[in-house]
Amino acid sequence: MVTPPFGYVYDERMLEHECGYDDTMRECPERMILIHERLKHDGLLEKAVKVSQMWMFNMSE
């Protein structure tokens, strides 16, 4: 069985995101780091296609 490729967008600038008005917001730099490190550790990023954040930005226009 052939596994289809998957893509991901990762930019360290995303780590600057913090929700200043809600302490319970789960999206925080530590969570992003943990997820990215786990994907690397498990070898999932080796087969993944890193999608340029600029490409994603241009697609939304």
Helices first, then strands: H and E counts in the chain: 2, 2
46: alpha, beta or left? (left if phi > 0; alpha if psi -120 to 50): alpha
Q: What is the pLDDT of residue 56?
A: 53
pTM score: 0.61
In this structure, the chain runs to a length of 61
pLDDT digits (tens, 9 = 90+) for 3-49: 777 888 888 887 887 777 877 777 778 888 898 999 999 998 888 88
d(CA 2, CA 13): 34
Domain total in the chain: 1
Q: Which domain holds residue 39?
A: 8-14+27-59
Considering the domain boundaries, does residue 22 fall inside one?
no
Quick one: pLDDT at residue 42?
94
Cβ-contact 14, 32 below 8 angstroms: yes
What span, in angstroms and rounded, lies between the C-alpha atoms of 37 and 44? 10
pLDDT at 19: 75
